[in-house]
Amino acid sequence: MKIAISHARNVLMGWDIDVNVNAENQEKIAFVEVRVNGFPEVSETLDDPENSWERQLTQQGVFPGDNKVEVLVRDQNGNDTRSKQAWTGN
């Protein structure tokens, strides 16, 4: 699995966070969990496993302050892939 996490400052509040997941080879995405600063924002089981998954979360995290996004992806065979991104906004 390839997991891409990006963030951009939201002018109103917090951050806009993009999470993009792409399956490789024979993998299929069956479950995705996204946590922002320890709080679950997305917990999604896909009825029909997919090759790709994308979600934009708006006005998340804190500004100024420390932020962390953690992503857990489970494939159709129950194998987990994790990714994490952390940053400080001043």
Write out pLDDT tens, residues 29-83: 999 999 999 999 999 999 999 999 999 999 999 988 999 999 999 999 999 999 9
**pLDDT value at position 89?**
80
- The DSSP secondary structure of 48-87, one letter per residue, reads EEESEEEEEEEEES-SSEEEEEEEEEEETTS-EEEEEEEE
**pLDDT value at position 76?**
97
Looking at the structure of the chain, the number of domains it has is 1
- Rounded Cα distance between 32 and 53, Å, is 9
Asked if pLDDT for residue 21 goes beyond 90, the answer is yes
**pLDDT value at position 64?**
87
Residue 85, domain extent? 2-89
